Structures are given as structure tokens and as C-alpha cells.
């Protein structure tokens, strides 16, 4: 059996190759972690915005239901002093909505 002799120029080539592969794999891993982190942050923000939208939508539905119940009971509402009604469907009010008082 013949044993192959290494040339002096090939000495240490394996360790250089291993370090190079390790460096490339480390860069790939770091890139993957950064991308995943940014994606997670984006998803968290979208979830927050969606929850805010649904909370507002639920508040609107609850207010409509409350007002319909009050109308069915025969309660009449006085408009606030700062309200200007441009049309019957879209009032604009310069004061807070707490000024609508049931009579």
C-alpha cells in the first residue's frame, strides 16, 4: 500500500477550507435570524393594527345597538350645543360626544 506524500504548499489547506465554510455558514445563519426577527416585528405590528380596528368596529356596533335600544324605548336625544348638521346623515360636532344628553 502506497502512502501519498503531501506537498508543502498543500499543508494546512483543510483547516483554511473548514474556516471558510464555517464563515459562510455563520453569515447565512445570521442573515436568517435577522430576516426572521424583522418578519416577526412586522407581524406583531399588523396584529396590533388589526386588533385596534376590530376593537373600534366593535365599539361602533355597540353604540349603534345602544342607540337603537334607546330609540325603541322612546328616549329622545338633544343635540350638543356645538353640533352643526350639514345633512341628516353626517353631523359634525365641535364638542365631545358626551354632550348628547338623553331627555
- Whether 72 is in a domain gets the answer yes
- Residue 35 resides in a domain: yes
Q: Is residue 22 part of a domain?
A: yes
Q: How confident is the model over 27-78, as pLDDT tens digits?
A: 999 999 999 999 999 999 999 999 999 999 999 999 999 999 988 888 887 7
Q: If residue 18 lies in a helix (H) or strand (E), which one and from where to where? A: helix 13-73
Using an 8 Å Cβ cutoff, are 82 and 98 in contact?
A: no
Predicted structure pTM score:
0.47
Which domain range does residue 62 map to?
13-102
Centroid of chain to Cα 69: 35
Phi, psi of 50 (to 5 degrees): -70, -40
Domain count for the chain, please give it: 1
Nearest alpha-carbon partner for 79 in 97, 63, 55, 52: 97
Which of the residue ranges 11-15, 76-80, 85-89 would you say has the lowest mean pLDDT?
85-89
In the numeric block, which cell numbers belong to residue 75? 328616549
Q: How many residues does the chain have?
A: 103
Q: Is the pLDDT of residue 3 over 80?
A: no
pLDDT of amino acid 8: 64
Amino acid at each position: 500500500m502506497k502512502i501519498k506524500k503531501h506537498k508543502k504548499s498543500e499543508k494546512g489547506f483543510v483547516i483554511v477550507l473548514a474556516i471558510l465554510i464555517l464563515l459562510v455558514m455563520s453569515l447565512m445563519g445570521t442573515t436568517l435570524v435577522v430576516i426572521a426577527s424583522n418578519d416577526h416585528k412586522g407581524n406583531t405590528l399588523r396584529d396590533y393594527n388589526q386588533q385596534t380596528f376590530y376593537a373600534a368596529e366593535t365599539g361602533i356596533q355597540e353604540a349603534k345597538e345602544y342607540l337603537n335600544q334607546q330609540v325603541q324605548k322612546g328616549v329622545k336625544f338633544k343635540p350638543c350645543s356645538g353640533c352643526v348638521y350639514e345633512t341628516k346623515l353626517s353631523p359634525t360636532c365641535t364638542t365631545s360626544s358626551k354632550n348628547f344628553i338623553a331627555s
